[in-house]
């Protein structure tokens, strides 16, 4: 299995290490960085946390956004964390400044509010119950995190925190508003590998 | 993409071991200068984990110095990961002389309300209260910066006390680790601000890299001696040697003016770039900002850096100055060691 990490900006190195460990545990596989359209020959892709405006802009400038969109629509499994969850969502607004015109993938039936909890001052760590994916209660950070305010169609919520959706799935698409790549567990990454293999 | 031996979480575990030490020491009535222990499992803000995590999401990006809302809008449009609000660009601070202080909170607030990306601001070295004011204002990160006139010639701020993350400048490994052991969540090279000359940033990054390499291959007793010389906790030096890099995010700053400058610093091992005067002291700020963003995230690909370099014109770059023409008292990098 070959997993790509969109490596322009953000927590791409953290995803790289976590995914590498997961694949090692499962008997092998390769993790590569994706920056240009020619790198898109992968079995699954991760869109990391970072600034969604920056990631979207660079992807669109380098001609990666359209082919990536197409691949994801055709069923390429994708995990988006934080900024990645924003990129995947069909409907994005900012909690403070409202709608901004930013390049997105927009493939998942979900509504996302950027900077939902506020600024860095309101960023926090919390315990999230992963029982829906056969995991335990684990500690995660939420950094200037978005919220998934609504899912519809085939999309469903996998975890919530105080009634706000923090993890959702639609087929091969997995979105989290927290950061499994900074946590002490590889559970979310290995769950993604499982759904990508289906 | 670089592969490290330890995950973010494993690094944080180290800091929480220190917090446990603090807890014991505090219980015994000793002074402690260490991270706070997290005690309960409810959602909690401002922990070391949360402060160290913020800069992770800046990696591969460009933080741009701005002085007003208009410039902040340009920075966001160009793809900056954050803006740094200051009263005057470093180049103008250098020209103006006098005492340089933190920016006007009203301006910072206006910028915070106008863009969606994080907003940082600078405070004077050791100025506990400018930092408290900015924390109350709600900026996303504070830069305890040598660009401003130091308020305390002897000490830096005890950054463990704050819930907001700090970034600090460093010229060598000792400075970097001292700032981390004071609670800094991110390091940047000092370079020589406001010069448009990248040479000092290169020098500082290379010094840090070669010191880390040296420490990695040292015997344990030499490492203990080195930690004493650097006046840093031995354990922190040990962690750095094991990681083969600084244990927090490390950016380049000071004199970066072109896409190629940014790519050079990334190649030297920076996690990202701060651009001060380089953008808004040039004749083509928007294009230049876009080009530097592109070159920073795609530094491994010379074709993309070439494309970025073509987006700007050397005629429009800021003039820049030779470091050797600066008098010793004009150097900003020697402030706050």
Residue to mutate among B297, B301, B304, B307, with most A CBs inside 10 A, is B297
Statement: residue B37 has pLDDT above 80: no
Residue B108 to residue B213: CA distance in whole angstroms = 40
Statement: residue B34 has pLDDT above 80: no
pLDDT exceeding 90 applies to what percent of chain B?
Answer: 77
User: What is the b/e burial string over B133-154, where b = at least 16 CB atoms within 10 angstroms of the residue's CB?
Assistant: bbbebbbbbbbbbbbbbbbeee
**DSSP H or E run through B79:** none
For the ranges A162-171, B52-61, B84-93, the lowest mean pLDDT is seen at B84-93
Residue B2 lies in a domain: no
pLDDT band per the 50, 70, 90 thresholds, residue B22: confident
For chain B, how many residues are written?
Answer: 337
Strand B166-170 relative to strand B44-45, pairing? unpaired
Q: What number is the ipTM of this complex?
A: 0.95
User: According to the model, what pLDDT value does residue B38 have?
Assistant: 72
Q: Are residues B125 and B13 in the same domain?
A: no
Residue B262 to residue B291: CA distance in whole angstroms = 10
Tokens standing for residue B147: 């660009």
pLDDT band per the 50, 70, 90 thresholds, residue B326: confident
Q: What are residue A130's phi and psi, to 5 degrees?
A: -100, 25
**B275/A contact by beta carbon, under 8 A:** no
Statement: residue A42 has pLDDT above 90: yes
* Between B29 and B53, the higher pLDDT residue: B53
Residue B87 lies in a domain: yes
pLDDT band per the 50, 70, 90 thresholds, residue B272: very high
Residue B107 lies in a domain: yes
Strand A30-34 relative to strand A156-161, pairing? unpaired
Q: Are residues B62 and B29 in the same domain?
A: no
**Average confidence score pLDDT of chain B:** 93
Which chain B residue's Cα is nearest to A20?
B3
pLDDT band per the 50, 70, 90 thresholds, residue B211: very high
10 Å Cβ neighbour count for A101?
Answer: 6
Which three-class secondary structure state does DSSP give residue B313?
coil
Q: Are residues B318 and B225 in the same domain?
A: yes
pLDDT band per the 50, 70, 90 thresholds, residue B77: very high
Q: Are residues B12 and B86 in the same domain?
A: no
Which three-class secondary structure state does DSSP give residue B279?
helix
Look at residues B265, B290, B288 and name the one whose alpha carbon lies nearest to residue B277: B288
Domain span holding position B233: 48-330
**DSSP H or E run through A86:** helix A83-88
What dotted CATH number matches A2-197? 3.40.50.880
Task: Show which of residues 108-167 on chain B sit within 8 Å of chain A, judged by CB atoms.
Answer: 112-119, 135, 138-141, 163-165
Which three-class secondary structure state does DSSP give residue B185?
coil
Q: Are residues B150 and B20 in the same domain?
A: no
Q: Are residues B32 and B53 in the same domain?
A: no
Does the beta-carbon distance from A121 to B53 stay under 8 Å? Answer: no
Catalytic residue, from A14, A138, A170, A181: name it: A181
Residues of A in contact with B13 (CB under 8 A): 184
Tell me the pLDDT tens digit for each residue of B108-146: 999 999 999 999 999 999 999 999 999 999 999 999 999
**DSSP H or E run through A174:** strand A173-176
Does the beta-carbon distance from A125 to B76 stay under 8 Å? Answer: no
Statement: residue A100 has pLDDT above 80: no
Average pLDDT over residues B209-215: 97
**Average confidence score pLDDT of chain A:** 95
Strand B44-45 relative to strand A173-176, pairing? unpaired
Statement: residue A15 has pLDDT above 80: yes
Residue B56 lies in a domain: yes
Residues of B in contact with A84 (CB under 8 A): none
Look at residues A107, A12, A17, A4 and name the one whose alpha carbon lies nearest to residue A50: A12
User: According to the model, what pLDDT value does residue B97 have?
Assistant: 84
Range among A8-12, A27-31, B85-89 rated most confident: A8-12
Our count of domains for chain B comes to 2
Which chain B residue's Cα is nearest to A63?
B304
**B60/A contact by beta carbon, under 8 A:** yes
Residue B211 lies in a domain: yes
Alpha-carbon distances of A123 from A64, A120, A146, B17, B46, rounded to whole Å:
31, 5, 10, 22, 7
Average pLDDT over residues A105-133: 95
For residue A82, indicate whether it is catalytic: yes
Residue A108 to residue A153: CA distance in whole angstroms = 9
Look at residues A104, A111, A33, A47 and name the one whose alpha carbon lies nearest to residue A76: A47
Q: Are residues B30 and B74 in the same domain?
A: no
CA atoms within 13 A on the CB side of A51: 28
Tell me the pLDDT tens digit for each residue of A53-69: 999 999 999 999 999 99
Q: Where are the domains of chain A?
A: 2-197
Residues of A in contact with B139 (CB under 8 A): 119-120
Q: Are residues B177 and B275 in the same domain?
A: yes
User: According to the model, what pLDDT value does residue B329 have?
Assistant: 84
User: According to the model, what pLDDT value does residue A25 have?
Assistant: 93
Residue B337 lies in a domain: no
Secondary structure E strands in chain B: 44-45, 62-66, 82-85, 119-124, 141-145, 166-170, 186-189, 249-252, 272-275
Looking up tokens 């998942």 gives A108
Residue B319 lies in a domain: yes
pLDDT band per the 50, 70, 90 thresholds, residue B43: confident
Question: Is-contact A104 A92, C-beta < 8 A?
Answer: yes
Q: What are residue A140's phi and psi, to 5 degrees?
A: -135, 155
The CATH number of the domain holding residue B189 is 3.20.20.70
Q: Are residues B15 and B136 in the same domain?
A: no
In total, the C-beta contacts within 8 angstroms joining chain A to chain B are: 161
End-to-end, the C-alpha distance of chain B in Å comes to 31
**DSSP H or E run through B192:** none
pLDDT exceeding 70 applies to what percent of chain A?
Answer: 100
Which DSSP string corresponds to B253-308?
A: -SS--SHHHHHHHHHTT-SEEEESHHHHTSS-HHHHHHHHHHHHHTTT-HHHHHHH
Alpha-carbon distances of A9 from A6, A33, B1, B294, rounded to whole Å:
8, 11, 10, 10
pLDDT band per the 50, 70, 90 thresholds, residue B156: very high
Residue B42 lies in a domain: no
Bridge partners (DSSP) listed for residue B145:
B124
Residue B273 to residue B264: CA distance in whole angstroms = 10
CA triplet B242, B36, B171: central angle to 5 degrees? 50
Tokens standing for residue B239: 């962690």
Question: Is-contact B189 B170, C-beta < 8 A?
Answer: yes
Tell me the pLDDT tens digit for each residue of A161-184: 999 999 999 999 999 999 999 999
Q: What are residue A81's phi and psi, to 5 degrees?
A: -110, 130
Task: Considering only CA atoms, give the Rg of chain A.
Answer: 15
Q: What are residue A135's phi and psi, to 5 degrees?
A: -110, -175
Q: Are residues B265 and B152 in the same domain?
A: yes
User: According to the model, what pLDDT value does residue A87 have?
Assistant: 96
Task: Show which of residues 3-62 on chain A sit within 8 Å of chain B, judged by CB atoms.
Answer: 5, 7-14, 16-18, 20-21, 33, 35-36, 49-51, 53-54, 57-58, 61-62
Q: Are residues B29 and B135 in the same domain?
A: no
Does the beta-carbon distance from A58 to B297 stay under 8 Å? Answer: yes
Statement: residue B244 has pLDDT above 90: yes
């Amino acid at each position: 299995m070959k997993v790509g990490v969109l490596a322009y900006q953000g927590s791409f190195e953290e995803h790289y290490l976590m995914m590498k460990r997961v694949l090692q545990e499962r008997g092998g596989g390769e993790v590569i960085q994706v920056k240009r359209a020619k790198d898109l020959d992968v079995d699954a892709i991760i869109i990391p946390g970072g600034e969604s405006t920056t990631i979207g802009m660079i992807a669109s400038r380098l001609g990666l956004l359209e082919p990536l969109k197409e691949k994801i629509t055709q069923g390429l499994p994708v995990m988006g964390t934080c900024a990645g969850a924003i990129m995947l969502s069909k409907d994005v607004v900012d909690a403070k400044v409202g709608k901004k015109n930013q390049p997105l993938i927009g493939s998942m039936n979900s509504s996302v509010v950027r900077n939902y909890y506020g600024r860095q001052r309101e960023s926090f760590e919390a315990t999230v119950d992963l029982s829906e994916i056969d995991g335990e209660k684990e500690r995660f950070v939420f950094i200037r995190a978005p919220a998934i305010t609504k899912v519809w169609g085939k999309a469903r919520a996998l975890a919530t925190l105080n009634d706000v959706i923090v993890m959702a799935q639609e087929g091969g698409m997995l979105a989290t508003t927290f950061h499994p790549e900074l946590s002490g567990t590889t559970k979310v990454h290995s769950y993604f590998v499982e759904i990508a293999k289906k | 993409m670089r592969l490290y031996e330890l995950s973010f979480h494993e690094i944080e575990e180290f800091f929480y071991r220190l917090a446990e030490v603090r807890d014991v020491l505090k219980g015994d009535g000793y002074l402690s200068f260490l991270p706070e222990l997290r005690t309960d499992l409810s959602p909690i803000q401002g922990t070391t984990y949360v402060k160290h995590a913020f800069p992770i999401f800046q990696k591969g990006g460009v933080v741009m110095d701005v002085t007003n809302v208009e410039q902040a809008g340009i920075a966001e449009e160009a793809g900056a990961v954050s803006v740094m609000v200051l009263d005057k660009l470093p180049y103008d601070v250098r020209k103006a002389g006098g005492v340089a202080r933190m920016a006007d909170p009203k301006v910072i607030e206006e910028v915070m309300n106008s863009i969606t990306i994080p907003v940082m601001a600078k405070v004077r070295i050791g100025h506990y209260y400018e930092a408290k004011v900015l924390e109350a204002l709600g900026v996303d990160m504070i830069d305890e910066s040598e660009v401003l006139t130091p308020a305390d010639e002897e000490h830096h701020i005890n950054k463990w006390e704050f819930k907001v993350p700090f970034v600090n400048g460093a010229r060598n490994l000792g400075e970097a680790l001292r700032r981390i052991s004071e609670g800094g969540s991110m390091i940047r090279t000092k370079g020589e601000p406001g010069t448009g000359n990248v040479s000092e940033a290169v020098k500082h990054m290379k010094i840090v890299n070669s010191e880390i390499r040296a420490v990695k291959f040292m015997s344990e007793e030499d490492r203990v001696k080195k930690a004493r010389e650097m006046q840093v906790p031995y354990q922190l030096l040990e962690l750095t040697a094991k990681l083969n890099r600084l244990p927090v995010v490390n950016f380049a700053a000071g004199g970066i003016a072109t896409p190629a400058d940014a790519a050079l610093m990334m190649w030297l091992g920076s996690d990202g770039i701060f651009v001060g005067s380089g953008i808004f002291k040039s004749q083509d700020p928007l294009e230049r900002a876009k080009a530097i963003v592109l070159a920073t995230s795609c530094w491994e690909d010379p074709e993309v850096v070439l494309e970025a370099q073509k987006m700007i014109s050397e005629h429009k770059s800021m003039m820049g100055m030779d470091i050797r023409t600066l008098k010793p008292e004009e150097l900003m990098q020697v402030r706050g060691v």
